[in-house]
A and B are shown apart, each in its own frame.
Chain A
Amino acid sequence: MYFKLAWRNIWRNKSRTFITLIAVSIAVVLSVLMMSAKNGVYENMIKSLIGDFTGFAQIQSKAYVDDSSIDNVLVFNDDLKAALQGISAIDGFSPRIENFALAVSDSSNKGVLIIGVDVEKEQKYIGLKDRLSDGELIDLSDDQVMIGSGLSERLQAGVGDTVVLLSQGYHGSTAAGKYRVKAIVNFGSPELSNQLVFLPIQEAQTFYGLENMYTNIILHFKDNDDVRQGVNKLNSVLGQELVARDWEELAPELKNMIETDKMEGYVFMFILYMVITFGLFGTMLMMLSERKHEFGVLVAIGMKRVKLAVMVWLELIILSILGVILGSVISLPICTYFHENPIYFGEEMADVYEDYGLEAMIKFSLDPSIFTQQAIIILLISSMIAIFPFIRLLQVKAIQQMKA
């Protein structure tokens, strides 16, 4: 009945209730759209830079962390393999050799990042095959390479052309090789697209003069929410020389950028919600003074003031829940639409994004936490606002209020 009473009281002043509802839901819609777009960008960033390239976590030798020289490699022995298999969150792992080199073609040269990969093993997680714009995937026995599409343009080298790679090998040896381009790989991130060269892992070992040694081991997780935990577990068993690092450590710039951008979003949201807070507060004050007499009567006939306060609190909470629901109902289809039909930018914005190594598109996120976050914020605000009438109603004096 208290709920019924609160519910009916909400609809006593229909136009005011509607205005309040609309204000709350506009705030929810704007916040949701903004967060959905932002999170979509982050998800895309993380997917294209981390998921499709760095991996959500890696094992490296501690020396390699400080100095990513080809000399600071790690040995992938049975102990390490056993340790990895012992962690249930890890679905798979694949060793890589990553190092810098100079690529030279007939017409040009460029510094590149060589990635020695076990293509077959990584295929399941990274999906290189889907990224080929020309040619065919390299396989383990190949002595050919795949290069990023940006790099291909820079070097003016397409499928079938030859590039020469030069670098320093293990312990000061010279690394040099001549490779035919077997495929062109498309990476959303221009930074990657401009400098990646994929070699089959054995060929990379030969190139750098490494035997059963790698620069890092990419870890693949069943669920990316478990990365942190898996990494911590792994670090407790890895021993002195090796360390597992998650993507936030591997790509701190990306993490920082996301954090900074999120902060901006929060500032905007804060301002938006401040406005809503004042609006709700005003509604509440009006309601309180309009119903002064009625509150007096209720206390006169024996309603405990705490109950009265709870009833009014309930009214505010119900009102804000309705606002959240309305806001979510409006924004969900919009987010879904832009999730399925991402927005692509024009030239200018695209440049900005590409500076960050990103594809110039916004694919809205449908992460449920975006919606629950708004709900929680609104509920917190209205609970906070409700403190005021709560305290006031605890002091109601029937006789004085009834005179009003």
Chain B
Amino acid sequence: MKVIETINLSKIFEGVVPVHAVNQVNLSIEDNEFTAIVGPSGSGKTTLLNMIGGLDRPTSGTIKVNQIALNELSENELINFRLKHIGFVFQSYNLIPVLSAKENAEFVMLLQNIPAKDRIARVEALLKEVGLEDKMNNRPSQLSGGQQQRVAVARALASKPDFVLADEPTANLDSKSAENLLDIMHRLNKEEGITFVFSTHDQRVIDRARRVITLEDGKIISDVIQHEN
């Protein structure tokens, strides 16, 4: 089943010289995929992911997530859509500094009005899954970058999204933490069928991806399936 579909998707940033950050991209991503978007700096990875995530609107073209066209949603509907359907992992973690690891992961469920009992059970399971069962009550400032990013993964999964979008999730991590995060993402993908779409520069991360889409100047120049798992 198609989770993500883009049709002639373009984004032009107006300016003295207009920038075609994403240029006529046609792309479809199925359920259960583990896909890396790669390409040189400035090739449009972030812009593409932002549009898929409903954070930014295209200049032209269509994005469909689970058959729903994001263009047709109002700003407030988009917020609600993100909450229900998309999990986000950011390059700079972006946890809420005043909340503990547990509370950070719990937060999106709170926004979804899930009862406290269910929230706690799920959060504990998720943090265990990312290997942070002994750091649940630490605030972000009391966690390493790798640990913070694992909390971010737990937070992204807490809302049971259709897929997780991660823009350079390992860029701020040392190679060991990056490796560890990849392991977790990979396992979640294999064992729980979670769809991951992430952008990266890191060759080792690229190697772990099942499908690799390469962008250059806003265009897809290659789209290959490297291996089956």
Contact yes or no, B55 A302, CB < 8 A: no
Query: Can you sample 24 A-B contacts with CB below 8 Å?
Result: A1-B106, A5-B98, A5-B99, A8-B98, A12-B97, A12-B98, A293-B94, A294-B94, A294-B96, A299-B79, A300-B82, A300-B94, A301-B107, A302-B111, A302-B159, A303-B79, A303-B111, A304-B111, A305-B76, A307-B111, A398-B55, A398-B79, A399-B55, A402-B90
Contact yes or no, A8 B99, CB < 8 A: yes
Contact yes or no, B50 A301, CB < 8 A: no
Residues of A within 8 A of B55 (CB): 300, 398-399
A298 beta carbon closer than 8 Å to chain B: yes
Question: Could you tell me the distance between the alpha carbons of A148 and B74 in the complex, rounded to whole angstroms?
Answer: 82
Question: SS class of chain B's interface: helix, strand, loop or mixed?
Answer: helix
Contact yes or no, A302 B84, CB < 8 A: yes
Contact yes or no, B98 A302, CB < 8 A: no
Task: Give which listed residue, A1, A8, A302, contacts B82 with CB less than 8 A.
Answer: A302
Residues of A within 8 A of B159 (CB): 302
Residues of B within 8 A of A398 (CB): 55, 79
Residues from 77 to 114 in B contacting A, C-beta threshold 8 Å? 79-80, 82-84, 88, 90, 94, 96-99, 103, 106-108, 110-112
Residue of A nearest to B161 (CB): A302
Chain B: number of interface residues, binned into ranges: 20 to 34
Residues of B within 8 A of A399 (CB): 50, 55-56
Write the A1-27 contact mask toward B (1 if CB under 8 angstroms, else 0).
100010011001000000000000000
Question: Could you tell me the distance between the alpha carbons of A299 and B80 in the complex, rounded to whole angstroms?
Answer: 9
Q: Give, as a whole number of angstroms, the nearest-CB distance from B35 to chain A.
A: 21
Question: Could you tell me the distance between the alpha carbons of A96 and B55 in the complex, rounded to whole angstroms?
Answer: 83
Write the B12-54 contact mask toward A (1 if CB under 8 angstroms, else 0).
0000000000000000000000000000000000000010010
B155 beta carbon closer than 8 Å to chain A: yes
Name A's B-contacting residues (CB within 8 A): 1, 5, 8-9, 12, 293-294, 297-305, 307, 397-399, 402
Contact yes or no, B80 A301, CB < 8 A: no
Q: Give, as a whole number of angstroms, the nearest-CB distance from B55 to chain A.
A: 5
Contact yes or no, A298 B82, CB < 8 A: no
Task: Supply 16 further A-B pairs (C-beta < 8 A) apart from A12-B97, A298-B96, A303-B83.
Answer: A5-B98, A8-B99, A9-B98, A294-B96, A297-B96, A300-B82, A301-B82, A301-B88, A301-B108, A301-B155, A302-B112, A302-B159, A303-B79, A304-B76, A307-B111, A399-B50
Contact yes or no, A304 B79, CB < 8 A: yes
Contact yes or no, B103 A302, CB < 8 A: no
Residues of A within 8 A of B50 (CB): 399
Q: Give, as a whole number of angstroms, the nearest-CB distance from B86 to chain A.
A: 8
Question: Could you tell me the distance between the alpha carbons of A5 and B95 in the complex, rounded to whole angstroms?
Answer: 13
Q: Give, as a whole number of angstroms, the nearest-CB distance from B213 to chain A.
A: 22
Residues of B within 8 A of A300 (CB): 53, 55, 82, 88, 94
Residue of A nearest to B87 (CB): A301
Residues of A within 8 A of B75 (CB): 397
Asked, given contacts A5-B98, A294-B96, whether A302 binds B110 with beta carbons under 8 Å apart, the answer is no
Residue of B nearest to A8 (CB): B98
Output the residue of A1, A297, A302, A305 with the most chain B CB within 10 A: A302
Residues of B within 8 A of A304 (CB): 76, 79-80, 111
Residues of A within 8 A of B111 (CB): 301-304, 307
Q: Give, as a whole number of angstroms, the nearest-CB distance from A275 to chain B.
A: 30
Q: Give, as a whole number of angstroms, the nearest-CB distance from A102 to chain B.
A: 80
Q: Give, as a whole number of angstroms, the nearest-CB distance from B118 to chain A.
A: 14
Contact yes or no, B90 A297, CB < 8 A: yes
Residues of A within 8 A of B56 (CB): 399
A-B CB proximity, top 9 nearest: A302-B83, A8-B98, A297-B94, A302-B82, A399-B55, A399-B56, A1-B110, A398-B55, A302-B111
Contact yes or no, B79 A305, CB < 8 A: yes
Residues of B within 8 A of A307 (CB): 111
Q: Give, as a whole number of angstroms, the nearest-CB distance from B89 to chain A.
A: 10
Question: Could you tell me the distance between the alpha carbons of A57 and B187 in the complex, rounded to whole angstroms?
Answer: 86
Question: Could you tell me the distance between the alpha carbons of A301 and B89 in the complex, rounded to whole angstroms?
Answer: 9
Output the residue of B53, B76, B94 with the most chain A CB within 10 A: B94
Residue of B nearest to A395 (CB): B75
Contact yes or no, B99 A302, CB < 8 A: no
Residues from 51 to 77 in B contacting A, C-beta threshold 8 Å? 53, 55-56, 75-76
Residues from 135 to 163 in B contacting A, C-beta threshold 8 Å? 155, 159
Q: Give, as a whole number of angstroms, the nearest-CB distance from B155 to chain A.
A: 7
Q: Give, as a whole number of angstroms, the nearest-CB distance from B16 to chain A.
A: 19
Residues of A within 8 A of B155 (CB): 301
Residues of A within 8 A of B110 (CB): 1
Question: Could you tell me the distance between the alpha carbons of A298 and B82 in the complex, rounded to whole angstroms?
Answer: 11
Question: Could you tell me the distance between the alpha carbons of A12 and B83 in the complex, rounded to whole angstroms?
Answer: 26
Contact yes or no, B96 A302, CB < 8 A: no
Residues of B within 8 A of A397 (CB): 75
Contact yes or no, B96 A5, CB < 8 A: yes
Residue of B nearest to A307 (CB): B111
Question: Could you tell me the distance between the alpha carbons of A164 and B111 in the complex, rounded to whole angstroms?
Answer: 88
Residue of B nearest to A11 (CB): B98
Q: Give, as a whole number of angstroms, the nearest-CB distance from A14 to chain B.
A: 12
Contact yes or no, A302 B108, CB < 8 A: yes
Output the residue of A9, A300, A402 with the most chain B CB within 10 A: A300
